[in-house]
Amino acid sequence: MMRSFPTHPTHGSARMSDLRRTARRTHGFSESVIREMTRVAREHDAVNLAQGFPDFPAPTELKEAACRAIRDDVNQYAITWGTENLRAALERKYARWYGMEVEGTREITVTCGATEAMAAVMLALVDPGEEVIVLEPFYENYGPDAVLSQATPVFLPLKPPNYRLDPDRLRSLVTPRTRAIVINTPNNPTGRVFDREELEGVAEICREHDILAITDEIYEHILYEGEHIPLACMEGMRDRTVVISGASKTFSVTGWRIGTILAPPALTDAIRKVHDFLTVGAPAPLQEAVAVGMDELDDSYYEEMVEGYRARRQALVPALQEAGFACAEPQGAYYVLADFSALSDEDDTTFSKRLAREAGVAPVPGSSFFSVPERGHNLIRFVFCKRLETLKEAGERLRDFAGRR
Ligand code: GLN
């Protein structure tokens, strides 16, 4: 069965009682499977390796700065597109890490998480009927974001186990209606960090066909191999790339909802309008705290964070393999996509729910990362942004589960 993302769904009768009728644009996608699995985990008291949020503390510097900002009465609306301090800190961030020159006054928008960022960008830049190319497997929001903008998502399946991006296959999907390509690196859920050759291929296609790149770089600082290369830094790409990131993963503050968008001024104007009418702005005191974190945390913070994640990866991947899952070490981000064919021939959703219930470990069913659910039916995704004890406990539970079969 094809999981379609219809832009103008036709089901939903006009005669249906108005009390039960919902807008057609919502009929093209279902509830977030990631959040649903978090609820399933709670129900069974399972270790939640489904939703990507840390169970360890955020850096003290950020927490202190947030409390200070609230006590100093930074409690009203911030400037809609972001506080001056945070936009200035973002200028320094992009100079520090990538040698980019960024104008905070004209090129940055601060949003309620990268999730709002992606939705606002598509609503602002993609016209109904235009196509947005998404690499598959993909983070589950991109399809619905395209649908909300009445665009058509076009999927490019990447092949396991390497999930390499082949520019020729990408080029074959380009049509006169292609408006944008979404690139998420380091990647959720595959863990791929796209290399220079792959990204050069994307850049060439964008330049050749006058296409925008929308990059989701939320895991930019979490990588174990290779280097993070912002597509915007490649030749001719600065003017056609929208860079999305945020504080959630870098500073372990997923609940603060601070996302960022860097885009050329003309695009930023439209993005800011959409953002303003959607949410007015991201939480003012938390923006101040993120600015402090960006400026005050030195290289050792980033090195220790990566070392911490490397140790967590080492705690989870071998445990999964021992329990009978086929999976590789991710190059970046904090997810493992695992093939469970050796353990069960159930479909991914049935198996995920059983794993939560019987093993006490909740993953995300693989089909939620594919346009055609069958492509993910032998896969589940685990996160490892958890304390070592949490991961050890999960590993033991999975080993017991596998031993009981
Ligand atoms: N990005 C995280 C994940 O993939 C969290 C998603 C969310 O719930 N917003 O699990």
Question: Ligand 1 pocket test: which of 49, 141, 188 has the largest number of ligand atoms within 8 Å of its C-beta?
Answer: 188
Stretch(es) of the chain classified as CATH 3.90.1150.10: 13-57+300-403
**Does the C-beta of 184 come closer than 6 Å to ligand 1?**
no
Per-residue pLDDT averaged across 181-197, rounded?
98
pLDDT in the model for residue 1:
42
Q: Quick one: pLDDT band at residue 118, thresholds 50, 70, 90?
A: very high
Q: What is the mean pLDDT of residues 34-42?
A: 95
Report the pLDDT averaged over residues 190-209: 98
pLDDT at residue 19, as a whole number: 87
Asked if pLDDT for residue 2 goes beyond 60, the answer is: no
Task: Annotate the chain with three-state secondary structure.
Answer: CCCCCCCCCCCCCCCCCCCCCCCHHHCCCCCCHHHHHHHHHHHHCCEECCCCCCCCCCCHHHHHHHHHHHHCCCCCCCCCCCCHHHHHHHHHHHHHHHCCCCCHHHHEEEECHHHHHHHHHHHHHCCCCCEEEEEECCCCCHHHHHHHCCCEEEEEECCCCCCCCCHHHHHCCCCCCEEEEEEECCCCCCCCCCCHHHHHHHHHHHHHHCCEEEEECCCCCCECCCCCCCHHHCCCCHHHEEEEEECCCCCCCHHHCCEEEECCHHHHHHHHHHHHHHHCCCCHHHHHHHHHHHHHCCHHHHHHHHHHHHHHHHHHHHHHHHCCCECCCCCECCEEEEECCCCCCCCHHHHHHHHHHHHCEECEEHHHHCCCHHHHCCEEEEECCCCHHHHHHHHHHHHHHHHHC
pLDDT attached to residue 386: 98
Atom of ligand 1 nearest to the CA of 51: 10
* CATH 3.40.640.10-classified regions of the chain: 75-296
Class of domain 75-296: alpha beta
Q: Is the CB of 293 inside a 6 Å radius of any atom of ligand 1?
A: no
Task: Indicate the top mutation candidate among 34, 145, 220, 386 to test ligand 1's pocket, ranked by most ligand atoms within 8 A of CB.
Answer: 34
Atom of ligand 1 nearest to the CA of 32: 8
Spacing, Cα 334 to ligand 1 middle (Å): 11
187 lines ligand 1 (CB under 6 A): no
pLDDT for 192 beyond 50: yes
pTM for this predicted structure: 0.94
Q: Is 35 in the pocket of ligand 1 (CB under 6 A)?
A: yes
In this model, does residue 77 exceed pLDDT 80?
yes
Ligand 1 atom index nearest CA of 188: 4
Decide whether any atom of ligand 1 lies within 6 Å of the 367 Cβ.
no
Summarize pLDDT for 205-239 with one digit per residue, the tens. Answer: 999 999 999 999 999 999 999 999 999 999 999 99
Give per-residue pLDDT as tens, 153-171. 999 999 999 999 999 999 9
Q: Check pocket membership of 186 for ligand 1, CB cut-off 6 A.
A: no
Q: Tell me what the mean pLDDT of segment 273-300 comes to.
A: 98
Q: Whose CA is nearest to atom 4 of ligand 1?
A: 52
- Give the atom of ligand 1 at the shortest distance from the alpha carbon of 189: 4
Closest atom of ligand 1 to 218 CA is: 1
CATH code, 13-57+300-403: 3.90.1150.10
- Work out the pLDDT band at 44, boundaries 50, 70, 90: very high
Return the pLDDT at 316.
98
